[in-house]
Structure 1
Amino acid sequence: MTRRANRWNGGVIAAVAFASLSAPSAQAATPTLPAIFPAPTTMTLGDGAIALGRPVTLIVAPGTEPATAALVRTLLAKAGIREVATASRLPATPDRPTIVIGPDSAAIVREALARSGATAEDRTEGYTLTTRSTGAGLITLAGHDADGLFHAVQTLRQLLARPTIPALTIRDHPAMPIRGTIEGFYGKPWSMTDRTRHLDFLGEMKANTYVYSPKDDPFARDKWREAYPAATLSELGTLVARARANHVDFVYAISPGPSICFSNPADEQALLRKFAALRGIGVHSFYVALDDIEYQKWNCDADKAAFGPSGAEAAGVAQSKLLNAVQADLLRQDPASRPLIMVPTEYYDAKESPYKAALRAHLNPRIVVQWTGTDVVPPAISIPDAKAATKAFGRKTLLWDNYPVNDYASSAGRLLLAPYAKREAGLSSELTGILSNPMNQEAPSRIAVTGVLAFGWNDKGYDADRTWHYAAHDLAGNDARATAALLELFDTQHLAPTFGSQPWQEQAPKLKALLDHVREALANGDEAERRAAIAALGHKADALADAPDTIRAGVADPGFAEQAAPWLDAMQLWGRALQQTAAGLDAADRGNPAATRYFADAKRIAAQAAAVQTIPGATRFGGPVKIADGVLDTFVADAPNLIAVTAKP
């Protein structure tokens, strides 16, 4: 993913020498349907392919954003395309592959689509990408709007990673209007570098929303009435510009709930002043968070006089009054502003309550309401669950999915790296969108967030495991060894806890299957099966022990290795403990008394592994790092008792 760090700077890049695309040779491989993530709405394979080899012509239609055209040139250069010519019209008989990019309203784009037998996508953020292999080859990127054209270029980025681009037609648009992340966790906020990289990642994954809402930003919560220092405001302005370059909406969230007096005009004005300051650096989307506050008592006596005795219903009325005033001011300041977003105090479950009834009755219907599902960290979300939320809040909700966030006690010591799963296909019909609440560790968060974004784009075409593998492949910079090593790590961090007693993702399923097989082979008494199982265990132990070094050397984004460092250290030690365990089982099976020493070494190394600590201050709850806990540690402890350690006569 370091490709993102050097991607582009948003400026127009001058035409330089490129290597290029050419028509396929007679020996070209049979074209195959490419894997694109997020999965497109429709993708149809044609005949033939366009292979790398000759110069290309690039036609940029009127209405194309200069930065989008510059990004295409950058991607072509990274694909090794060394020569490019420019033109303003399609030649009758192109003598070289031709790329046409632009809005689908442009005449030359419509002509290119017609030549390819394709039609424009007419949905918001939609695009058509079609490649025609006849003649010299024609590639057309037609965006329904500026966002759609940017998304089309992100699809081209993935196609350019292949040695040939097959003839195909993609018509694509997002299933959910809002897709992205909310930096809404407790504990150490992301650095500005983290946020910059994350915004680039969101752009590549066709996301369109980033909510700035770190709970530990004092000027957004405890000191919400106070102005940001000039330096901080300048940094936020830089992020806003980076978001815009990635076609991501930067949403500023404020959390006044712990101290606000809802009936006090001065507090309302303080909130509007804060939003006005953010508007001055280019923010046009705003959010008021009223989660994790006490609503059974007022913060001021004036609210009792204005709304009556404290309680859930009165809180709903008071919050609605404030939010309606904010929404009205946003429209006065900017008639084109996006709707205000709020997260309610009752932000999970969809049970009827006086609070929800008050929001239904009093909250401006334009305001978007967030909802975390059936629980704070829900094990699953179904269409009936979302329908119940629509009924409870009086509008379709914006899902705040608390995965892969790890700021709660039962997630201590974990990276949450399982696939994004157990969200029902078809939820797009009952949600306005989906935002993932990621971990304090930004780079590791991208594994699960890739799934969230792919689900939001095309929930009906989403495949959890394939998207998970893509995330590993992308992080590995397309390196096969690094990808395999990452998947080994991901399996040891597969458990996903909830606020209940049972996790919603099982722990280390692939490793557990192998260890269970070893136990069964030892129990069955067949010598050949036993020897084969122990050998397989040794290979797995080697893979676990070697994976951390491969990851450190092979990941495209060094931030991942840095933020996951304690887990890599612990994984390497657990791998070595399993190596000694496998050696002990093999020795015991052969009647070698050295088995006792191997098992003792395994126990010693396992103790070292279990003592590895998380990075101090990195997460809200630190402590010992957990690696396939309940699976790997249990097997290492049990192994000496699975086979008799005696010398054969």
Structure 2
Amino acid sequence: MRMFFTSLIAVMLGGMPVFAQTAAGTQLTGNVQVSRSAVLPAIFPAPVSMTLGKGSILLGKSVVLVVAPGADTAATALVRAALTAAGVETITTGKQLPPVPDKTYIVIGNDDAAVVRSALSKSDAVADSHAEGYTLASVTMGNGALITLAGHDANGLYYAAQTFRQLAQRSSIPALLIQDHPAMSVRGTIEGFYGAPWSMTDREKHLHFLATVKANTYVYTPKDDPYARDRWREPYPAATLKELSTLVAIARQNHINFVYAISPGPTMCFSDPADLKALEAKFSALRTIGVQSFYVALDDIEYKKWNCALDSTTFGPSGAEAAGIAQAKLLNAVQANLSAADPTAPPLIMVPTEYYDAKESPYKAALRKYLDPKVVVQWTGTDVVPPAISVPDAKAATKAFGRKTLLWDNYPVNDYGQTTGRLLMAPYVKREAGLSSELTGILSNPMNQEAPSRVAVTGVVAFAWNDKGYDAERTWYAAARELAGGDERTTTALLTFFDTQHMAPTFGSQPWQEQAPKLKALLDGVRAAIAYGDEVTRRQAIAHLVQQADQFAGVPDIIRSGVVDTSFAQQARPWLDAMQLWGRALQLTAAGLDAADKGSPAAARHFAHAKQLAAAAAAIQSIKDATRFEGAIKIADGVLDEFVAAAPTLIALE
């Protein structure tokens, strides 16, 4: 449906990377391209500040790489890989800068290194001094060029390298200055859904993906891991511990903080020293494989009934306030143990039993009063699946819990009944700019399908990085483009597919994002042309629908052959299969309207065949055991199905 997204693409391309520049107004000096038409590149997440300079730089076949002492090895490796992917054949290692570069020099290191300070000075740049911040400066100088990647710390340098990776995908790198840092200190995902957990391969891919969007946190807490919930007191089998060890190492390489979360609430005896010891033993074993961050989840439990008589003796009759006191006592002991074992470890994270809304309650008051201030509290917003979150909402949560909260955003998770048959792939919206002032961060709870989850997660992390500069539609486009490996045809196909999975339900009857808004606009336009237009307008609209239906039907095959990671097509298989059938039904519907408009008796046959295909499409089921709630696949439901059903009534047959 290329024309279906014409307006969107036209808007997007204004800020997207340009992969070819005209020769007009261009002068080559050495390997430096001086151009009057350099354009501002699109970087995701959006940097805090990005300013164009004059000219642009062709990397060419060789560069000199100057690595400052102590520079992060992963960042350096990423820069080397980006250069190789850009066609650079020779990367010469240098130790210092010449007075005037005669070729392209790339300097990488922390901003306190002498060679980095010198490079910044030559570029008339000042280092970003925020935690996890970085500065990237590229300038042309005589017959050469200088590109500086300066990190304020190891994470910042890694993010500079990720930005350089995006810039190096262009045919030339414009002279520019980027000063950037995250608005929120915690950004990433929490694998906290019910149903089939991700495979270890899924998790490895997800960690690599998170690195590309400058996330820094992954919480391991699949509800169906028995050793993290039902059998939490038991140690992990050696084989599983080894697999987790691999994940921890991959996370570290990608500058992702691997957080291990345990859910002891269903059977925990809060006052039993043996249970506290079992909890600490579990964390101690995970510490041996490199885990440094820990989390105690107390969500989805019965908290007004004790699990043991000892709790009743210790804390009195069960109830919300008593539960808050008991949980605080346990968590404080765990935090003390973690600090004793590793004084540099991040603070303990917890999710409370009352994890949504910010209404005052005896439970929240107990946590606020007794819980160690260092412990981080997660909160899901104004509801389990909130339709929107405002700054006042977050301020209310800060007041209720006595600290700024870490948002657990239940999007795009699809483990509840209202999501049956759905992938949730709309842009991340209705979170108010300015939330960074009241949240410590955002963790997205993704879908059972890892690769399709990346679309929404890209938006979540981009918002957490720069909530005030976040553009939902442009980020949505960037997510599609990344899955497509930069191919515009596949990108357009993905955006069409995403539109059929645009609806985002809540626990209520009203979704917080509508279904298929772009397809609906197209089909509503056809209805209007038939109802109100003259003969010419009507026939033009039907002809346009015929063209669009052909392109819609071809989308699944384009995606299957065009996505970079084949796991996307595999995990979305039934949706792509259903879309293909719906596409054929739409083609026949368009043919039926065309025939009816011309008075042809073939219209009835086309409509009948479309009805059969629609029924077959609606009968396709989700992959068995892949999600918690299984059922019929939904494709632009309430939009496409209604149009196909109504089409035979739009033009009367003689």
TM-score, with structure 1 as normaliser: 0.96
Task: Give the corresponding residue for 2:10.
Answer: none
Is the contact between residue 22 and residue 137 of structure 1 (CA under 8 Å) also seen in structure 2?
Answer: no
Deviations 1:305-338 (A, max 9, x none): 1101111000000000000000000000000010
Q: Could you say what secondary structure the match of 2:295 adopts?
A: strand
Within the candidate set 41, 51, 57, 1:50 is matched to: 57
Within the candidate set 432, 443, 461, 1:435 is matched to: 443
**Residues 1:255 and 2:269 are matched in the alignment:** no
Supply the distance in 2 between the matched residues of 1:66 and 1:472 (Cα, whole angstroms): 30
**Residues 1:197 and 2:178 are matched in the alignment:** no
Paired AA for residue 205 in structure 2: R
Q: Could you say what secondary structure the match of 2:605 adopts?
A: helix
Shift of 1:583: 0.2
Within the candidate set 127, 145, 167, 2:134 is matched to: 127
Supply the distance in 1 between the matched residues of 2:382 and 2:533 (Cα, whole angstroms): 48
Paired AA for residue 615 in structure 2: A
Is the contact between residue 22 and residue 50 of structure 1 (CA under 8 Å) also seen in structure 2?
Answer: no
Task: Give the corresponding residue for 1:87.
Answer: 94
Supply the distance in 2 between the matched residues of 1:134 and 1:90 (Cα, whole angstroms): 12
Is the contact between residue 344 and residue 369 of structure 1 (CA under 8 Å) also seen in structure 2?
Answer: yes
**Residues 1:98 and 2:105 are matched in the alignment:** yes
Within the candidate set 510, 515, 518, 2:518 is matched to: 510
Within the candidate set 37, 41, 47, 1:40 is matched to: 47
Shift of 1:202: 0.8
Paired AA for residue 55 in structure 2: G
Within the candidate set 622, 627, 638, 2:635 is matched to: 627
Q: Could you say what secondary structure the match of 2:58 adopts?
A: strand
Supply the distance in 1 between the matched residues of 2:488 and 2:564 (Cα, whole angstroms): 12
Within the candidate set 65, 80, 104, 2:72 is matched to: 65
Supply the distance in 1 between the matched residues of 2:557 and 2:390 (Cα, whole angstroms): 40
Shift of 1:525: 4.3
Q: Could you say what secondary structure the match of 1:577 adopts?
A: helix
Task: Give the corresponding residue for 1:6.
Answer: none
Task: Give the corresponding residue for 2:196.
Answer: 188
Q: Could you say what secondary structure the match of 1:303 adopts?
A: helix
Supply the distance in 1 between the matched residues of 2:368 and 2:184 (Cα, whole angstroms): 23
Paired AA for residue 95 in structure 2: S
Supply the distance in 2 between the matched residues of 1:185 and 1:281 (Cα, whole angstroms): 24
**Residues 1:473 and 2:487 are matched in the alignment:** no
Paired AA for residue 335 in structure 1: P
Supply the distance in 2 between the matched residues of 1:463 and 1:415 (Cα, whole angstroms): 22
Is the contact between residue 129 and residue 169 of structure 1 (CA under 8 Å) also seen in structure 2?
Answer: yes
**Residues 1:561 and 2:558 are matched in the alignment:** no
Is the contact between residue 296 and residue 351 of structure 2 (CA under 8 Å) also seen in structure 1?
Answer: yes
Runs of 4+ in 1 over 3 A off after TM superposition: 21-26
Supply the distance in 2 between the matched residues of 1:132 and 1:218 (Cα, whole angstroms): 55
**Residues 1:350 and 2:376 are matched in the alignment:** no
Supply the distance in 1 between the matched residues of 2:165 and 2:607 (Cα, whole angstroms): 50
Paired AA for residue 375 in structure 2: I
Within the candidate set 516, 523, 536, 2:531 is matched to: 523
Change in Cα spacing, 1:548 to 1:29, as seen in structure 2 (3 Å) is: farther
Shift of 1:54: 4.2
Task: Give the corresponding residue for 2:313.
Answer: 305
**Residues 1:287 and 2:287 are matched in the alignment:** no
Paired AA for residue 256 in structure 1: P
Within the candidate set 525, 531, 540, 1:532 is matched to: 540
Q: Could you say what secondary structure the match of 1:211 adopts?
A: strand
Task: Give the corresponding residue for 1:393.
Answer: 401
Is the contact between residue 289 and residue 344 of structure 1 (CA under 8 Å) also seen in structure 2?
Answer: yes
Matching of residues 562-601 of structure 1 within 5 Å: 562-601=570-609
Shift of 1:29: 6.4
Paired AA for residue 636 in structure 2: A
Matching of residues 597-612 of structure 1 within 5 Å: 597-612=605-620
Supply the distance in 2 between the matched residues of 1:628 and 1:66 (Cα, whole angstroms): 46
Shift of 1:502: 0.5
Task: Give the corresponding residue for 1:417.
Answer: 425
Is the contact between residue 496 and residue 505 of structure 1 (CA under 8 Å) also seen in structure 2?
Answer: yes
Is the contact between residue 74 and residue 158 of structure 2 (CA under 8 Å) also seen in structure 1?
Answer: no
Task: Give the corresponding residue for 2:154.
Answer: 146
Shift of 1:23: 3.6
Is the contact between residue 33 and residue 55 of structure 2 (CA under 8 Å) also seen in structure 1?
Answer: no
Supply the distance in 1 between the matched residues of 2:503 and 2:226 (Cα, whole angstroms): 32
Task: Give the corresponding residue for 1:542.
Answer: 550
Deviations 1:570-593 (A, max 9, x none): 000000000000000000000001
Change in Cα spacing, 1:267 to 1:588, as seen in structure 2 (3 Å) is: same
Is the contact between residue 305 and residue 318 of structure 2 (CA under 8 Å) also seen in structure 1?
Answer: yes
Shift of 1:25: 4.1
Q: Could you say what secondary structure the match of 1:439 adopts?
A: coil
Within the candidate set 641, 645, 648, 2:653 is matched to: 645
Q: Could you say what secondary structure the match of 1:133 adopts?
A: strand
Shift of 1:134: 2.5
Shift of 1:645: 1.7
Shift of 1:49: 0.5
**Residues 1:614 and 2:622 are matched in the alignment:** yes
Q: Could you say what secondary structure the match of 1:33 adopts?
A: coil
Number of equivalenced pairs: 626
Supply the distance in 2 between the matched residues of 1:575 and 1:24 (Cα, whole angstroms): 49
Deviations 1:224-245 (A, max 9, x none): 0000000000000000000000
Shift of 1:93: 2.3
Shift of 1:359: 0.3
Paired AA for residue 346 in structure 1: E
Supply the distance in 2 between the matched residues of 1:48 and 1:57 (Cα, whole angstroms): 20
Deviations 1:397-437 (A, max 9, x none): 00000000000000000000000000000000000000000
Shift of 1:472: 0.3
Paired AA for residue 284 in structure 1: Q
Shift of 1:492: 0.2
Q: Between the two proteins, what is the percent identity of the paired residues?
A: 70
Q: Could you say what secondary structure the match of 2:653 adopts?
A: coil
Deviations 1:243-268 (A, max 9, x none): 00000000000000000100110001
Q: Which runs of 5+ in 2 are unaligned?
A: 1-28
Is the contact between residue 451 and residue 467 of structure 1 (CA under 8 Å) also seen in structure 2?
Answer: yes
Task: Give the corresponding residue for 2:20.
Answer: none
Is the contact between residue 22 and residue 52 of structure 1 (CA under 8 Å) also seen in structure 2?
Answer: no
Supply the distance in 2 between the matched residues of 1:22 and 1:142 (Cα, whole angstroms): 25
Matching of residues 157-168 of structure 1 within 5 Å: 157-168=165-176
Deviations 1:67-113 (A, max 9, x none): 32222111110111111211111011222100000010000000000
Supply the distance in 1 between the matched residues of 2:653 and 2:239 (Cα, whole angstroms): 67
Is the contact between residue 60 and residue 87 of structure 2 (CA under 8 Å) also seen in structure 1?
Answer: no
**Residues 1:450 and 2:458 are matched in the alignment:** yes
Shift of 1:24: 3.7
Is the contact between residue 51 and residue 165 of structure 1 (CA under 8 Å) also seen in structure 2?
Answer: yes
Change in Cα spacing, 1:564 to 1:106, as seen in structure 2 (3 Å) is: same
Supply the distance in 1 between the matched residues of 2:75 and 2:356 (Cα, whole angstroms): 39
Q: Could you say what secondary structure the match of 2:65 adopts?
A: strand
Q: Which moved more, 1:446-455 or 1:126-135?
A: 126-135
Supply the distance in 1 between the matched residues of 2:411 and 2:244 (Cα, whole angstroms): 25
**Residues 1:111 and 2:118 are matched in the alignment:** yes
Change in Cα spacing, 1:41 to 1:25, as seen in structure 2 (3 Å) is: closer
TM-score, with structure 2 as normaliser: 0.95
Q: Could you say what secondary structure the match of 1:585 adopts?
A: helix
Task: Give the corresponding residue for 2:498.
Answer: 490
Change in Cα spacing, 1:629 to 1:130, as seen in structure 2 (3 Å) is: same
Q: Which runs of 5+ in 1 are unaligned?
A: 1-20
Shift of 1:536: 1.7
Paired AA for residue 53 in structure 1: G
Paired AA for residue 318 in structure 1: A
